[in-house]
Structures are given as C-alpha cells and as structure tokens.
Amino acid sequence: MKSKIRALVLRTAGTNCDVETVFALELVGFKVGLVHINQLKSLAPYDIFVIPGGFTYGDDIAAGKILANELKFRLKDEIRKFVESGKLVIGICNGFQVLAKLGLLPSGKISEQTVTLTNNLSGKFQCEWVKLKVDSQKCIFTKGLDEFELPIAHAEGRFVAKPRIIKELQVNNQIVLRYSGYNPNGSIDDIAGICDPSGRIFGLMPHPERFIFKTQHPRWSSAKQEPLGLLIFKNAINYFKKSPTFG
Amino acid sequence: MWRVEVEKIDNVEGESIKKDILDLGIKVDKVEVINVYLLFGEISQKEVQKIAEELLTDKVWETYKINQKSKIKNQKLHIVEIAYNPGVMDPTEASAIKGIRDLGIKEVTSVKTAKKYLITDSISDRELELVANKLLFNPTVQHIVKPDARLPASPASPMSQGGPKLQRGEPSVGQEEVLPKTPAGYFNLVYIDLLDVGDKELLAISKNNQLGLNLTELKRIQQYFKNLNRNPTDIELETIAQTWSEHCVHKTFKSRIKFGGKFIEPLFSTIKKVTSELNLPFCVSVFKDNAGIVKFTNGYNICFKVETHNHPSALEPYGGAGTGIGGVIRDTLGAGLGAKPILNTDVFCFGPPDYQAKKLPKGTLHPKRVMKGVVAGVRDYGNKLGIPTANGAVLFDERYVGNPVVYCGNVGLIPKDKCGEEIVPGDLVVLIGGRTGRDGIHGVTFASGELTAKSEAISSGAVQIGNPIMEKKVIDVLIQARDKGLYRAITDCGGGGLSSAVGELASSCGAIVDLEKVPLKYKGLSYCEIWISEAQERMIIFVPPRKLNQLLKLCSSEDLPATVIGKLTNDKKLRLKYHDKKVGELDMEFLHQGVPLKTKIASWKKPHFKEPDFPEPSDLTPYLLKILSSLNVCSKEWVIRQYDHEVQGGSVIKPLVGANGPGDACVARPLLDSNYGIVVGCGINPRYGEIDPYWMAGSAIDEALRNVVAVGADPKRVAILDNFSWGNPDNEERLGELVRAVQGCYMAAKAYGTPFISGKDSLNNEYRVGNKTISIPPTLLISAIGIIEDVNKSISSDLKSPGDLIYIIGKTYNELGGSHYYYVQGYKGNDVPEIRTKNSLIFKSLHKAIKAGLIRACHDCSEGGIGVACAEMCFAGEIGMQISLSNVPQAARQLTGEPRLRRGEKIKRNDKLLFSESNTRFIVEVSRENQAKFEKLMSGDFAKLGVTDESDELKIFGLNGNFILKAKIRELKEAWQKPLKLI
C-alpha cells in the first residue's frame, strides 16, 4: 500500500545529500517529494519538511545563510502554518545551519537568530565518525536512542550561543544530542543537535542518512552494527502513524 | 560604492595563520582576519545596513562596520588587504548578489570581496612582505589593495617583476577599484602574415603568440594556407595550435618512434592493443570518449577518467587543483550522454614538506604551501559537489619541488542506454554553465611546455579559480535533461575551451559558431579570446531544434545559463563568425588529421646504482619504525579527513579502516537499492622507475590490481587507466624511459587480463633553473576499477580477532631495488621487483577464498613488504600478532637479460625477507575453523606465518627462530601517524 505520509526534501544549488536522504525516508515508508526551491509554492501537502546536507550557495558568506533568507522572505507564512499544524521539521548538517539562521531553532518560530554554527576549532573541514549521546527525551526524532555513532562532515559545525541561551536550552531539555567522549569541533557543551520547545523541529550536524546500512559503519566487518541512523527517520514516520489524523 | 567589514567574535582563522607565520620563522603577537564586501550600485545607507545586518553578518558570532576605518591603536599594527585580480572568478559574488536580491534590494550591480589581515607585532617591512607573499596571497590570482586612495587602483600586473610593494596604512573607503577594467570591445579582424615568411619568422610567430607549434607544424600550416591563397586569421591559427597541442592530440604517444635503432609502433597503439587483444565483453567504450566505460549492473555502466593538472597547480595550488578536479568531473559528465559523478580519486606528488626554503628555485612555491593549497583546492571543490573522495595517494620527492604532480580522477554512473552519442547536422550547439572570461587563455599550450621562473608571469591567465556551485548546478540539470532525451551529444569545455569542445565533437560533420552569442563575464573580450578561453564550469551539448524550448525551460527553472551559440552543418568545415562577419574557416579534416607527426628517437640503458653492502642488523624494530615514518608510507589522515568520503551514502570500505589504519582500495555502493559495489585502487612507485621503468609499470599494475582484489573485487573484471607524468619527450633518454614503461604496461596488463580503458599523458614536466633542467622522476599512475557483486562480502585490512591464523600468499624474491628499506638508509639498489605472468592465478585463488567467506582481513605487501603490511594490520585492528619468517615461500629470481651477482639465490637474510617488495603478495587472516577449507582452496604458493593474539605487540621471529622484531602496536601506530599529523 502506498504511504500517505508525505515528506518534502528541499534542494537548491549546492544541496548534495538529497539522494540518500530521500532514500532513507522512502525506506521507512514516506512518500517523498524532492523539490527545488524555485518550484516550491506551498508546504501544505507535506507532513515533514526536510532540509538535507550540502553547501547551499557554496556556503558563501556563511553556511546556510542565503537559503535561510530565501525561505524567510519567500515562505515565512507557509513555514509558520506548517509548524503550527503540528508537523515535523528536520535539518541535517547544512539544514541545521539553515534552521539556526532562520531562528526556527531553538525557538520554534522564524525569529531573531540566537544560536549559530561557526568554524570548527580545527579551522578545517572534518569527515569522521563520532560517538553521540541522547540527553533529552523531548525530541520525537530520537526516541529509543541512547548512545550511538554517526558520521560528521562539516567545516562550520561548532555550536555557539550566548551563555544565557545555552542555559535556556539546558533548562528546557532542548539539547538533544551531545558528542560523547570526543568533541570534534569545539561546540559549546558538546552540542551536536537541538530541538525546539515542542520537540518536533530538530537540527543536527551529524548525518543520520549516512547510517542506514550496517556496511556504512567504519568497523562493520569486525563488530555487529545496528544502523541506528535509520531510527531517526523511523521515529518520524511512527509519529504520524500513531497520530489520530493519520491512523 | 560601500564597504562592509565583517569580523568574527573569536579568531580561529587568525590563530591558524599565526601558526603558519611561525613556520616561516617569524613570531607575531596576533593575527585577525576580516571579511570585506564591496557593494556597487545606487543603494542607500539604510539598504547597506539591511544587507550588512540580515545577510553579511551572523549576529550571534560576528560584528560589522560600514565605511569605517580600523582603528590603528599603535605602530605595531600592520594591515594587509588582499583582493582577487580583475577577471579572476570571485565565487562569492553571485551568491551575494542573489542574497541581496532576496532582501528585495535590486540596485546592487556588483559585489566584490577581499580579506583584510590585521597583524600585530613589531616586524620589519621585509618580514611583512614575506608573510604576505608566502602566506596571504598569490599574485597569479590576487593582489594587495593599495592603501593610498589617490593612487590609481592598478592591481599588481602579472607582468611586473618581483612582488608588489607593501605600504603601511589603512585602505581608505572608496578606492578599492577591484572591478575588472577591460577595454571596450571593438572589432578588428587580425590576419597573421604567414604566406611568404621563412623558418625564422615562422618560429617567431609561434613564440610571440604563445602557440607552441614546431617548425614542421608551422610549415604544414603555411602550406595549407598557401593552397587557399590567403593568410590565416588569428583565430584560425589559435584553433590549429590548440588542436595540435601535445595536451590535446598527444603527439608523442601517436608518433613513430625509433627505439634502440629499430622502429616500434606508436606508444598509444601499444596501450590500445592490450584492450583489443584481450577483447573482454565488459568493456563498453574505450579510448574514444571523454572517459572509459565498463559494464556494472543490468541497468548501469560506470565510467572512469583520471587527469593531470600539474602546471596550474605549481603556480596556483588552490585554483589549479580545484579546477583539476572540476575538469575531470566534467569529463565523466561529458562521457556518453553524461554520467553522474559518484566518486573522486586524487594522487599527488610533492616536494618534501620540510624542504629548506633557501634551496627553493626562483619562481617556485614552497612544497608545504603547494601541498596545503592543492589539498584545500580539491577539498573545497569535491566536497561542495557532494562527490566522495575515497581513494588516493600522496608521494614525496625532491624532484617534485618545482613541478608537483596532481592527478584527479572521477568515476561516473551512467544508464546503459545513455552511453552512445549521435551527431546530426542541423542540431543546435548549446553552451551550458558559467560565463566566459579571460580565464585560462593558452592553458593547453602552457600545459604542454616546461615551467620556468617566468611561467608565473607569462601564464597567469592560464590559471583560474573554480566555482563548484555552478558545476553542481550543471550536473543537476544535465542529468535531468539527459533522462528526458533533450540532447544528442555532450562534451566538456576543458583545455582549449570552445575551440576544443566544438571542434572535436563536431569534427565528423562541421559546425558554424556565432561567437558574439557566448555570454561573457565582462565586456572587452575579442572574438579570439572568446573562442579559446578556458573559463570553467561550461559544457557543450548538441540539441535537436524541436527540443530546444524544453531544454531552455529546464535550465532556467534552476537558474542555469544556457545559450544557443551555433549549429551543426554537413560541410565538414568549422566556420566561426562574429556579428555576422566571418572570422575563421577551417576544414575539419585538416584540423583533426593534419598534424604532421615527427619520428622520435628514444634510447634506454639500464642505469646501475651502487649496490648496498651492509651487515644484517639483528634487531629490525628501528628499521620498521623508520619505514612507517617515511613520508610515502606514513598516514595521510591529515588529507583524508578533509575530504567528505561519506557523501552519497555509499561508502563500504573507506580510505581509513578499523582504528584509522590504511585501506587498500575503496568500495562504494553507488545504487543504494543494490548490493553491487565498485572498487577503486591505484598503483604508483616512481622509485622503481629510476631503476627500470619497465618493471615500474609492471609493479604499478600489480599494485593497483592487488589493492582492488584485496578488498574483494573480481580480478576477471578489473579495468585500468594509465596516466604518465614525464619529462621532455624530445630528450632521447626520457622518451626511452617512456617506451620502456609502455612496454611494461603491455606485458603486465596482458598477463593479468586487465584492459586499459582510458589514459592520459602529461609531458614536459620539467623545471628550468638557470641553465639546469630538473625533470620529475618517471611517474606512472595506474588506477584500477573493479566490481564486487555483494558489498557485504568486502574485506578490510584490519585484524578482526585474536586467535586467528595469519598466512602469506605469493612468493618473496630478493627484490629490494628501490625499496623503502634501502631508501631509509640512503640506498637505491638494482634488483627492482619484477612481475611473473603466472601470478594471475594468485589473484584468482585469493578471490575465490574471499568469495567463499574464508578471509577475515587482507592486506597487500607493498612499500616495506611483509613488515609494514603486518604492522598496519595490527594497529588497524588493535590486535597483536606473532609470525615467523621461516616458512615464507621464496624463489630465486630468473636470469633475464644481463647476469647479475645475486640472482639465482634465495634470501638468507631476515631483513631482506621482511622488507623485500616483491609483487603479488598478500597477508591474510583466516579463522581456525576455516583453516582446512582455506588451505584446500588455495593453489600455488602460500604459507602459514603465525597467529593473532591477545597481546598489544607485533612479534616476528627470524629464519633461525630468534626474535628479530618486537614492538608495541601503539608505538608502531605513533610512528606511522606522526610525520604529517601537525602540518
């Protein structure tokens, strides 16, 4: 039976993790539309809004900035209505940078930007697998996950904000994912991913769509590996399956 | 014009530059980096404020200033501002303009960027100049913005001698005229007087116009125009020079060669003969398209191409390497009807990073800067395109100081039914992608000549900065257009620009091109510059007229420029027009078949190096550590981690395996719904080539095949690519080495059943310092592409568990010529590893064992032989091992050619046995339960060496049963990781 639960994967110049993100969403049962921003008129037909990784507009000026502005000026009302109707939003890597610059994270609304992702302390692009720990039960995307591994691949992944904002995030349980044992980029409080107060908007630097087969793990041939990245997408579809509107 | 300066709250970039300055021996207190945006157009202060606040500044972590000077607090503050030269691509411009339009501000006409460095310390002008020249900018593409507003803002002319002078002080508002100032275009048809001139004048014409043509060629051209009874126009001459350049037509590889007094067939024929004689059904398209194509799954084929980008990378490492990877990606995109790029591979050869700065030849950049720039160039381009860079190698040798070698490769995935092209007269010539500027004029003639201290000045136009996002857009749209059947043929604009792309793709029918239709970056280009510009990120497609509207609509839906610039004809002529005036007309046949090929003379005499003579050390531990720490063997993690090797989600065997040990080859699953995988590996060893290029070629093929078979590729379905980077082919000995190498390629590829499907040669890799010419060592790269039917069966080299058995497969010979064991002691030796044709059986039986699931880990023996292979397997798996050398299968070398002393004897020394670099050998881990099955299945030479254990050590016993090596795994890994860790 064809799924009725629809995902929008947004792409534009420089998006480059769209194909594997679409694949992961389809694998768990979403009906996926991969849409170029020039063709995107309305978010209404979709249930989850996914901004995948990449280098939108070359990361020129600052990573995710130009796409964030474009969304803000063209689709502000659409996004507001989408979020208010209880639907889901996830931004992965460059997508997280976009959500932060939109202000959608951590506040849940398009608003003044309060957090950002800036240059890694190493000053370099880094591609490696990292250990992560789920530290909040607030986010619907990370239900059932505790400690697991995912790859990161970014040059601007250091989560920073004013101490007051960090404190708020801590108090409100919005810090969903932390780097565990090793902090690859110098993020404050080891932050790898946060959600909005409702737990329905999630942004993370690591790539869950890159761990949907065991063979993607660097040590798959020496130890049994559960592809736990997939669980993040499963949680998303389960959210809709359990909700009364979708049955 | 408005000036906006944006500064980060912290100073990560400045700190890293401070470290680089320290590397120059200069200590400074502080370095701050500021991003400068110059906005042009009729905009108000309020609008600028809006742009600064809502687009240019990240309010959480950055601050901005509009039209304000930095406060000069004290005399110790030095300001250096760097901007791109006019005409050089500034990749941020287009994105910034888009961002500004999104804000609703339409009046900004142009945006330029610059970087401002604030350096605090009391350093001298000379030191400051050194810092700027060595670290902050490259005059080939950038200049220092002059601080005095009243001075005309003339950027450093590339022709000026020495670097631009630094001046203290703050650049004032409004004077940074970095907008390209190009003369207004006017039409002036230029004829070159060629008909009645003598040899001397002919050569002068070639030299003055940077045509790179030799006298025979010039006379052939003269004859052609004499028959037409007219002089050529500049554009005609340029077109011929480009088409006939070594870079485009590969004259050396196609020429008749007299070798050792006898005529031999052209080198290109020898290479192609392997493929035609093997006649394997998995080869789909070889040596004719932009990339070789082989079969993959039922629905898809794969194509593979490797290119060199040596000369541009020597002058401008970042731009040179970036456009190198950008160019080879367009090769696979231009293969068949267009393949989707799925994997990059990069192999670099640099001078040693610790090379003494004062020894550096004039006009060359320091190897460390070349290395950092090349890696950053490939990183930024490859990562932004979302193509995993998953395979490669980095080598070091002093002779690469003036002429680095940069190989960039790309694998593409293409539907089976999209592999053929159709050339139909009447179809439209459509140019897709970036605009055309003065970039890369004479790139191919530059690439075909040798580098000199003046290259930087003369050839600056040949070097460019790429714009990866434009290329990403081109890929995104062309793959859709391909699947909709909107065009019938495609090729890339690479070396030679439109001239090469249109000239070649339309060679069978003819074409007419209206040059004024080509979209330009700025006014003022002549028709000839438009035709030969090598501006990046452009493709040519041939579109049936009835599909044009659909194509243009698709392109514009993703903001991708597409323009009809001409039409295919059937008169077999290339006709060029500019605003309806004829500027050139050439017969395709003359252009493509007319190049006169010279007979070349080659000779080769085996060199004899001093044979090392030293007693056998009793403890080999320090030697193993030394080899692990040698630059060619040590960990390249510093490079690898800067590349995204996970994007597209297909990675199975990564460049680093287990606990960051070295992998043999990469395995990727390009179709996420299929278990089929592609396997990519390479072989390269210039040290062997100094002794004998024939065996270097054999060893490179063996190594490439070893690497892909070790991870699980089927040896019956491996195809290979040859890439030669060589010295001057007019030098008899250089050419002789090339002949030897090509003959070695034929022998080995034929024996192993690995067809060549594509290749490229880059000659004249020489560097002149005064009267002395330094040639790079003969550098042959063999890249292999294989297939694995089930990626779940791929094997990595890290040990899997204690208590397993360790075997060696293949025989060891007394072959230490060119080995790393000799090298770390300052020797070369003469017994270079050979290959044995019957060894193809070894590959087959190992593959059978892998397929049967009997192998837990596998690693090939290459530099450092058994010793290095075992050490790497231990620290990659974090598992101990103990082995004995007494069972290692051995054989005496056969007497081939001139007799030598040590031939015909087995090895009696532990050091030689442990470190010999004989080909076709593997170390494998087998569980005890599979011992009987494994031993039964393997045929030929293999032996049990020992076991893996719970210890944290590698222990090796010698021929007499005594300890010859014992080392902690941690210590081995540290030695291997240390050298390039802190670059």
Interface confidence, given as ipTM, is 0.95
Task: Determine the pLDDT at residue B154.
Answer: 35
Going by pLDDT thresholds of 50, 70 and 90, the confidence category of residue B155 is: very low
**Which residues of chain B lie closer than 8 angstroms to A162, CB-CB?**
60
Query: Looking at the predicted structure, is the pLDDT value of residue B425 above 60?
Result: yes
User: Among B284-298, B803-817, B882-896, which is the least confidently predicted range?
Assistant: B882-896
User: Rounded CA gap, B874 and A190, in Å?
Assistant: 32
**Do residues B80 and B144 lie in contact, with contact meaning Cβ atoms separated by under 8 Å?**
yes
| Amino acid B158: pLDDT | 34
Q: Touching check for A66 and chain B: CB below 8 Å?
A: yes
Mean pLDDT computed over A209-223: 93
Please tell me if residue A212 touches chain B, with a CB cutoff of 8 Å: yes
- Segment (H or E) for B609: none
Q: Which residue of chain A is at minimal alpha-carbon distance from B14?
A: A123
Statement: residue B417 has pLDDT above 80: yes
Question: Does B177 score more than 70 pLDDT?
Answer: no
Pick the range with the lowest mean pLDDT from A176-180, A237-241, B213-217, B441-445: B441-445
Give me the residue from B92, B383, B877 closest to A61, CB to CB.
B92
Domain A6-242 in CATH 3.40.50.880? The answer is yes
Name residue B610's amino acid. Answer: K
Determine the length of chain A: 247
Name the pTM for this structure.
Answer: 0.93
Average pLDDT over residues B59-76: 81
Tell me, what's the pLDDT at B86?
Answer: 75
pLDDT score recorded for residue B547: 98
Least confident piece of the model among B308-312, B468-472, B478-482, B699-703 = B308-312
Catalytic residue list contains A127: no
Q: What is the reported pLDDT for B94?
A: 87
Question: Catalytic: A93?
Answer: yes
pLDDT above 50: residue B148? no
Average pLDDT over residues A55-69: 94
Find the CB nearest B646 among A70, A160, A207. Answer: A207
Binned at pLDDT 50, 70 and 90, residue B291 comes out as very high
The DSSP H or E segment spanning B154 is none
User: Closest partner residue to A14 among B56, B384, B856, by Cβ?
Assistant: B384
Interface probe with B: pick from A73, A130, A152, A213, most Cβ of B within 10 Å: A213
**Among the ranges B76-85, B887-896, B962-971, which has the highest mean pLDDT value?**
B962-971
What is the distance between the alpha carbons of residues B806 and B949, in angstroms, rounded to a whole number? Answer: 11
pLDDT at B169: 44
CA atoms within 13 A on the CB side of A5: 24
State how far the alpha carbon of B824 is from the alpha carbons of B90, B624, B828, B908, in Å: 45, 10, 10, 21
CB distance A127–B644 less than 8 Å? yes
| Residues A226 and A208 sit within 8 Å (Cβ to Cβ) | no
Chain B residues with CB under 8 Å of A19 CB are 648-649, 672
* Per-residue confidence band for A159, with pLDDT thresholds at 50, 70 and 90: very high
- CA dist B305 and B333 (Å) reads 10
Backbone dihedral angles phi then psi of residue B322, each to the nearest 5 degrees: -60, -45
Mean pLDDT of B393-412: 96
* Mean per-residue pLDDT, B57-78: 83
Query: Does A55 sit within 8 Å of B651, measured CB to CB?
Result: no
State the virtual CA torsion across B589, B594, B595, B597 in degrees, nearest 10.
Answer: 130
Q: Could you write out the three-class secondary structure of chain A?
A: CCCCCEEEEEECCCECCHHHHHHHHHHHCCEEEEEEHHHCCCCCCCCEEEECCECHHHHCCCCCHHHHHHHHHHHHHHHHHHHHCCCEEEEECHHHHHHHHHCHHHHCCCCCCCEEEECCCCCCCEEEEEEEEECCCCCHHHCCCCEEEEEEEECCCEEEECHHHHHHHHHCCCEEEEECCCCCCCCHHHEEEEECCCCCEEEECCCHHHCCCHHHCCCCCCCCCCCCHHHHHHHHHHHHHHCCCCC
| Helix pair A94-102, A65-84: axis angle to 10 deg | 70
**Across the interface, which of A13, A69, A116 has its CB nearest the CB of B472?**
A13
| Least Cα separation, residue B367 to chain A (angstroms) | 20
Percent of chain B with pLDDT over 70: 92
Q: B20: pLDDT confidence band, cut at 50, 70 and 90?
A: confident
Q: Mean pLDDT score of chain B, rounded to an integer? A: 90
Q: Would you state the pLDDT for residue B452?
A: 62
Contacts of A75 in chain B (CB under 8 A): none
Verify whether the Cβ–Cβ distance B468 to A221 is below 8 Å. Answer: no
**Could you read off the pLDDT of B704-727 as tens digits, one per residue?**
999 999 999 999 999 999 999 999
Q: How confident is the model at residue A247 (pLDDT cuts 50, 70, 90)?
A: very low
CB contact under 8 A, B386 and A222: no
Chain A CB contacts of B385 under 8 Å are 16
List chain B residues with CB under 8 Å of A159: none
User: Domain coordinates of chain A in residue numbers?
Assistant: 6-242
Q: What is the mean pLDDT of chain A?
A: 95
**Number of C-alpha atoms within 13 angstroms, CB side, residue B463?**
27
Which residue of chain A is at minimal alpha-carbon distance from B711?
A: A221
CB contact under 8 A, A123 and B16: yes
Inter-chain touch B383–A55, beta carbons under 8 Å: yes
- SS3 (DSSP) at B505: helix
Averaged pLDDT for residues B422-428? 97
Kindly identify which residue of chain B lies nearest to residue A39, measuring between CA atoms: B557
Contact B102, B40 (CB under 8 A): no
Residues A201 and A98 sit within 8 Å (Cβ to Cβ): no
B671 C-beta neighbours (distance < 10 Å), count = 17
For residue A52, the chain B residues in CB contact (below 8 A) are: none
Do B264 and B599 contact (CB within 8 A), yes or no? no
